[in-house]
Structure formats: structure tokens, C-alpha cells
Structure 1
Amino acid sequence: MPDQSPDPGDPADDHLREHQLSSQELLRGHFLHAFRDTVRLPDGREALREYVRHPGAVMIIAQLEDGRLVLERQYRYPVQSVMLEFPAGKLDAGEASLACAQRELLEETGYSAASWAKAGVMHPVISYSTEFIDVWFAKDLTAGERKLDAGEFLDVFTASPAELLQWCRDGRVTDAKTLAGTLWLQNVLSGAWTLDWQDGARPGQA
């Protein structure tokens, strides 16, 4: 995957940068890969930085012909709650972003899409993770059969954009990626932000 950092290296930001001096692996689990680095601060002092390396993920804002959105209800163990979310999933090693979005939408919801548009990228937990999430829009949906992973349990449902916005406002939706995705959706629907749609029959091009 290409570098997903929001900072391409502008020399004007050198007074803010930290430089790695050493790195210690803390955990290599099935999913998490954690490190503790010693860094040199801009003023020359040293500090510790603990963080998780993440392979990146995708999120899909899929809209049916009637305008309703494809959403999920899934239990998230760390917060001990069932969360309302847009479909999303982790990139496999070497997997292109669009191919991942197509795979995750089909596996989790049973839908495939003929048209796709990459809206942008978000960094949900910049204080302790390298994770980035590519935000994809999908339309011209066709319903099919879900292919959930072993041990994966979730409900798929639909809601109108107005319902989703209300749930964000009243606190039913607290998932960061879904809140950010709703911002994108709101601006796309208003015409303030435009999308560059592509044929979904060409996976792996992004």
C-alpha cells in the first residue's frame, strides 16, 4: 500500500517532528502488533511512544436505489456494546483498497456494487495507531448471499440518511468511522463534495 500519512514531509513542519532513535516490539498477536519507540523531540529531549501498527482498512458507504443505506449492528468486545456501523474491514496483505472494499461488502452484507467511488482516507486513532481507513461509496447494488468469517456475527439493516444523521446526533452512533462517513455522505448528498465514480467490474485498481 502507498504511504497513507497525512503529512508528506513539508520542511515547514520540521519544528514539530519527532525522530525514532530505537524501537522495541511489545506484542505480536493475531491482529495487534504493538511497539514502544524512543524518539528525539524537536527540542532535543527524548520521550517514549507506544503505538500499534495496523495494515489499514476500508469502509463502505453503500446506498440502495431508494436512497437507503446499508448498515450493520455488531458487538464490539473492547467497548462491550453492540455498535451501529457502516460495513468495513481490514486489508489483507498485498490487497488493493478497492478489491478489499468489494470483498468486505459482499462478505458482510451479501451486496455487490456496479459503481464505486473513493471519497478519501481517515486516521481514526492517531494517538496510538498507524491505522488508516479508505472511505468508499458504492451504488447500483445487487443483493446476494453473505459469506461471514468464522466467528463473525452481525446484523445487516438499512436506514435513510435522515435516520442515520439523527442517530449520530442523539448518540446512538458513536463509532468514529461511521461518524466520519456520515460527514462525507452529508456533503455528497448536498452537492458540496463530488465523487469520481468507476466501474466496479475492475477490482484492484486503487
Structure 2
Amino acid sequence: MSHEDDPHLQETPLARSELLRGHFLHVVRDTVRLPNGAEATREFVLHPGAVMIIGLLDDGRVVLERQFRHPMRAVMIEFPAGKLDAGEGSLLCAKRELLEETGYSAREWAFAGRLAPTIAYSDEVIDIWFARGLTLGERQLDEGEFLDVFAATPAELHAWCFGGKVIDCKTLIGSMWLQNVLRGEWALSWQGADATDDAGEFTA
């Protein structure tokens, strides 16, 4: 379904003002025309996009992280993930983030899909990548970045999601993807580590 199918729901951008440009966040306020002709404002975060990696170990476990997240004031269990650098492709970002955060390199990669975690107040889109044939090397954490890397079985992860131990949105969605892939219900198209193909346009 395209945007043209829903003219009665579409908002037309009229003007934009910048509210905040910080080191990490870029917040704007758009003035829009509503379907009924009235005007309204929309405040949201502009985001360059990100990736999440579901790393499959040879023993069947998956690679996870424990990291303190300041807004939540808690240590969260997450799949490895990170923001795209300027001009960086999705797959290259996934390879970089997996290596930097966990020390793992992968022999094969597969694009799974996309998720938009906060559609009410951000345009962020996260590409979901699967990686297998993992080889452990040296982590290259950013300055001021502290996280633990560990492995868990898919069953353990699913139980943590169900029980509320995992509440991170992208990890919950990743767990769903993992479950359906392992059941054979959602197929993946694997490519070698030397591939440079990006995720491309994903359509549901």
C-alpha cells in the first residue's frame, strides 16, 4: 500500500524549524496541513538510521549485550546495534558495529527486514541483519562505551522477552524474527562476508 492510497490521512509539510541540534539528537518542529485543511505542528527527532545484528553462534546460541541505558536508569539486555555513520551503507555498518561492540566477524550475512521503533516522535529506521559463521577477535569499543557481551540460547531469550526481563523494542522484534527463522517460517537469503550489497528497499 502506497501513500497515494490514503489521501484522507496524509499530512502535507509546510515549514520546518530546528529545536535542538545536539551531539546525538536533532529535533525539529514541522508545520503541516491536515487532511481537513487545518494546520498543526509535529515535533520529532531526525535520525540517520541504525542497524541491529542477530549473531548466530555455531552452538546455536545468539550474541547479546548488557549495557546501562541512562534514560531507563537500568542495564538492558540487547542485540548488538548501532547508528549509521554519514554516507555509510547498512551492511557495512552492521559489520563494523558487530566487530566494534562484540569482537565478532561473520562469514555470512542476511538482511531480514526493517523496524521503526518510535514512529510517533522519530523517523528512525533500524535494519535487521543476521550473521553466522562467527569468529571472535578483539573488541573496539568507543571511548566511554561500556558493555558486557554474552551468549544465550534462543529459548532463554524468548523466556526473557515473555517474562519482562527484556523490554528493549528492537531486541523484542529481533527475538520474533529469530523464532520465525528457526521455525523455517521466514526465509533468509545469505551472502558472503565480502558482499557489499545493502539492504535495499524493503517492502512488506
Q: Work out the CA distance in 2 between the residues paired with 1:200 and 1:74.
A: 27
User: Could you report, residue by residue, the CA deviation over 1:117-158 in whole angstroms, capped at 9, with x for unpaired residues?
Assistant: 000110000000010000000000001000000000000000
Q: Secondary structure at the match of 1:15?
A: coil
Q: Which position in structure 2 is the counterpart of 1:115?
A: 108
**In 2, Cα distance between the equivalents of 1:91 and 1:8?**
26
The equivalent residue for 1:132 is: 125
Which portions of structure 1, spanning 4 or more consecutive aligned residues, are displaced by more than 6 angstroms? none
Give the corresponding residue for 2:202.
none
Q: List aligned pairs for 1:21-100, cutoff 5 A.
A: 21-100=14-93
TM-score after normalising by structure 2: 0.95
Structure 2 unaligned residues grouped into runs of 5+: 200-204
Check the 8 A contact 1:99/1:204 in 2, yes or no: no
User: Structure 1 vs Structure 2: percent identity of aligned residues?
Assistant: 64
Cα distance in 1 for partners of 2:193, 2:60 equals 19
Between the aligned partners of 2:50 and 2:197, the Cα distance in structure 1 is: 14
- Structure 1 vs Structure 2 CA RMSD: 1.0
Deviations, residues 66-85 of structure 1 (Å, cap 9, x unaligned): 10000000000011110000
1:105 aligns with 2:91: no
Deviations, residues 18-42 of structure 1 (Å, cap 9, x unaligned): 0111111000111111001111111
2:191 aligns to what?
Answer: 198
The reply to whether residue 188 of structure 1 matches residue 184 of structure 2 is no
Shift of 1:48: 1.0
Tell me how far 1:202 sits from its aligned partner: 2.2
